A and B are shown apart, each in its own frame.
Chain A
């Protein structure tokens, strides 16, 4: 079974930084396209960004509100995905999920499975 386990969440002040990790097992991680999706508690889901596999270019893309502040990276030797979050804002407060992307014919895909999430709280 595929398992994704996020860590690194916590309380940070506005303008601060935090790095989230997602440890993956049960899949060929170096072939996986990995994403971060966030959810404000009690609200809906928002795609944050993704990183393709290195064999597919290893490129990243992001939703507009986090471009220039967040960076997704991966360490295939450790089967781990990262989300470096800088210049954090109060509106970045959310549960952050990592998830694997699958596609069939499109450049984007559906997400399965999801980790359990890690809560990031940005507050003074």
Chain B
């Protein structure tokens, strides 16, 4: 099973700043089959990115994904107040699909 490690565990930033979230895999994620989700308190996760860099429908272009192999990044170019949430990466290139433990993005 591929283990995904997200860093940092918590990221404290201010609105308008740039956020860079990391997801590192214990083995190669074949085909760049990696997704990112956003989850706000009391809500279900929401898909942001799939295929490592493709934005889901309706996701603002301030969200971007990059990476391949074992290292992936979610970047939020300019933080809006509604972006403060928990973010999870998920690999689906190998069975079973696995999630990272999450990065909490909090307002500084």
* A residues with CB within 8 A of B: 44-47, 61, 63-64, 97, 102-117
Contacts and interface: CB of A to CB of B under 8 A. Distances in A.
B45 A45 contact: yes
Contacts of A108: 33, 92-95, 97
Given A61-B95, A103-B92, A104-B51, A110 B35 contact: yes
B47 A111 contact: yes
Chain B interface, DSSP helix/strand/loop, else mixed: loop
Interface residues of B, number: 26
10 closest cross-chain pairs (CB), A and B: A114-B44, A112-B47, A110-B35, A108-B92, A110-B50, A45-B99, A44-B101, A106-B33, A108-B97, A47-B97
B46 interface: yes
Given A44-B100, A111-B47, A114-B44, 14 more contacts: A44-B101, A46-B99, A63-B96, A105-B31, A106-B31, A108-B92, A108-B94, A110-B90, A110-B92, A111-B35, A113-B44, A113-B46, A114-B46, A115-B44
B72 interface: no
A119 B51 CA distance: 30
